[in-house]
Structure formats: structure tokens, C-alpha cells
Amino acid sequence: MSRTSAAPTSMKPVTAGQPASAAALRSIPRSPQGAADEDDQGAGEEVQEGRGARPARVGPARHLTHPGRRGTRHPPVASRAPAPHVLHPGGRSPMPETAPKAAGGHRVVYAPRIQDLLARKEPVFRIDASTVGVCDPALMAEVVAARPVLSAERSVYKPAAGADIPHDSATRTIRALGQDVTAAIAAPPPPARGLSGAWPYAATSYLRRWLFASDPLPVSLLSKRGVTGSDALSRLVDRAVTLWPASGAGDTAGALAGQIRDASGTLERKQAVALYRRASATLCDGVAALAGNALWLMGPAREQRAARPGLTPFLWETLRLLPPAWMLWRKGGDAYAALHPEIRPEDDVALFPLLMHRHPDFWTDPLEFQPERWAGVADPEKTPAFMPFGFDGARCWAKHLVVPLAERLLEVAFENRITLRTEDGRTHVPLRSLLSVRFDAETGA
């Protein structure tokens, strides 16, 4: 498989530089049809996701020469004012070429603001007065190479308790999380009835029980949705955890919780609490989103497909077509202004893997779900125009855990005859920092 020299050699899911924040999401223009708030459940264009009719391949990739450093002209860009949305005469948005083709009978209803992004043709476009969006693979490669990622741009290892996270603390956290995941995958999973309910939330809760079941109270409360959604509860639990463990407590704690127990000093303990919450929540949320998206894209024949050896190609294709980390955020500066005339020093930059992964110059049948395109690909992350786990210098801290854990979660779901319940075969994708489909599931266990 060939690679272009401009394509990033390794790239980050849930934590790349940084994932879409609430402010970043709000900056995406509303659909002029006026339908959407940030949830956007049930609104927007309806398109179909599924498996295409013929095999596809990755490459050979045709290099998109970015003109910024090579003496050619830049591609056309949107004006500096927010770009108007062009409607058909009937008032409806045109069906974009980036909309997935019909197959498999499963349909996706995107939030209107996501649908508007999918309809864009420009490689570089202005989102608002201070934000520029980029989906051109070559320019994205130059953006991520222009400067190192700032500590404040990271989602897990950003500053905590008023101080930067030391490198050795970050390394210990990665190692501890890997130990907990490895131990969990080797152990029997929790009862599969925990996978029944609304996804991705049911899967997130299931993963927390699976990975961190040995962690005692109050540590196990740190990443609970009911706690993280309340500032008051979060502060209360944080305070309780800083007093943990009492004498003789904590013998059952996992490796990640052990980082809190073994911390020396108030600052180190507070940062260990923050790292536990961020790392556990980010991993569980990201894996749940990936597994749920894969379940949906596999369609009604998922049971037969699951019988094939290995689910890994299905997960790589899901990371291409419905990547949980669909938008990555970089703070503006002079380093980016030199790359393209549309980018000013004061502009923040939003990178869109969701759009890049559908680039027809790099992907055969880019709108079709074709796991077979990954057959025989030794290192998918080196594929041109593919950014499943972020980019070099800000790669996902847990990328080596995400696909194996998602594969194991899917195996448990299939073994227990999971069934997806939706309205007329449709699912909604709301405007969130993680791209994940919504559906209800029921297991036979």
C-alpha cells in the first residue's frame, strides 16, 4: 500500500489536539432550515449507511499536492464571512456527495450542523469569524506538523489542580490503564444484560463495571455519568477520594486507582484523581461509541458477519466512516497563518477527519461500508487520508487499547444475541464531541 509523503505518519480518537469542545461545537453554523439545537435528535438530513456491492481497496492513493509550500495556487476557499448554505429551489439542502450510499437498510439521521459540514465541497472553509475548518489531507498534515500540541489542547493530560501534568505521571497512567484493560479482557465479562438499554450509554456503563469493578468507593464514582454531570457532586466525590484510603483500605483497587492511593502530596493526589476520571471516562466513552457505530454499520446481517474470523476490519472501517473523534481542535497562531491565506493568526483551526475519510481521491467507494478494504493492511494508521487516532505528536494515549477492547465488547454482544431496536431502521447522530449513533439494544442473556 502506498503512502503520500504529506500524509501524517501516525495520528489521535478521543484526545487529539483537542476533541471538539462545547464551544467548538456551538461555533458550527446552524442549518438555515432552523431545526437544530446541540442535541439535534430527530432533525437533519436522513442518509443511509451500509455495505456496498463490490470490494474496495485502500490506495493506491493519489497525492493531493498542498500548494502552500510548493509554489502552486491554493484551492478556492469560502469567504471570510460565514458561508451561506445553498438550498435547492424547494428549500431543502442538496444531498451531498459525502452522504453514505444506501445499503444494508440502516439509515443515519445526522444533526443538521453535521449534515451541513458533510455537504461542504471546499477543502478549507470559514466556520465563523474566528474559526477555520480544514478537511484537505495535505493541509491537515501541514497543520499538525506546524507546531507541537499545547498542554491546554490535550483532553486527558491537560493541566489539573492548577499545574501541568508531569510526563512521568502521564506515563504511569497509561501503563496503569493498560494493566486494568489487559486484566479485564482476560477475565469473564459482567452479565450481558448490562448491554441492554440505550447505546452508547449502556455500553459505557458496562465497560466501567468490567474494567474498574475492583475499585472501591468512592473511587468508582469518579467517572459515573451522574457524578460527572454535576459540578457539586464532582467536587464532593473528589474531596472524598483525596481522603481515601483509610487504614487497610484499597487492597482491591485496580492499577489506575492505585495511582491515587500511592500519590504523595496534595498536588499529586489531586492530579491522580483528575487523571483517573479523564482516562477512565475517555476510554469507556470512546470504545462504547466505536462499538456502537460498528454494530449499526454492520446492519441486519451483523450476526453472520460476526461469525467470520476477526472483527478488526469492521472496526477499522467504522473508524473511517463514523469516527468517534470526528473533529479535532487547535488553538490559532502564526504557525498556521503561513499555511493558507484563509487562516489568520487569530483563527482557531478545526480539523475534520469525518470529511477527510470520505475523500474520493484517496478512497474507492468512499461512502460505502466495506470492511474488506482493510484485508491485508498491516498498519492501518499509515494509510493516507486516515486519522482514526489523531496525529503525530498528539496521538491517542490509549490507541493500543481501543480496537482490542471494542472487539472484545462486540464479541460479548454477539455471543449474547444482541438485537438493535430503532424506529424504522433509523438512528440519530446528535452534535456531540464524540460521534456516536443512538439506538436501544436488547440481549438474549
Mind listing the pLDDT tens digit for each residue in 153-166?
877 778 888 999 99
Residue at 126: amino acid letter: R
The answer to whether the CB of 287 falls within 8 A of the CB of 316 is no
The answer to whether the CB of 365 falls within 8 A of the CB of 59 is no
Spatial CB neighbours of 56, under 8 Å, sequence gap ≥ 6: 363, 364, 365, 368, 370, 372, 373
User: When comparing pLDDT for 44 and 314, which is higher?
Assistant: 314
Question: Read out DSSP for 319-375?
Answer: HHHS-SS--EEE---HHHHTT-TT--TT-EEEE-HHHHTT-TTTBSSTTSB-GGGGT
Where are the domains positioned within the chain? 22-59+95-161+278-442
The answer to whether the CB of 402 falls within 8 A of the CB of 389 is yes
Integer Cα distance of 161 and 115 in angstroms: 38
Q: What is the CB neighbour count within 10 angstroms for residue 97?
A: 12
Give, for 426, the enclosing helix (H) or strand (E).
strand 426-429
Residue 216: which pLDDT band, with cuts at 50, 70 and 90?
Answer: confident
What is the mean predicted confidence (pLDDT) over 64-90?
32
Mean pLDDT, the chain, integer: 76
What is the mean predicted confidence (pLDDT) over 103-118?
83
Per-residue pLDDT at 6: 35
Percent of the chain with pLDDT over 70: 69
Give the three cell numbers for residue 15. Answer: 484526545
pTM exceeding 0.85:
no
Integer Cα distance of 160 and 109 in angstroms: 37
For residue 16, pLDDT over 60 is answered with no
Which residue, 378, 357, 229, 349, is CA-closest to 293? 357
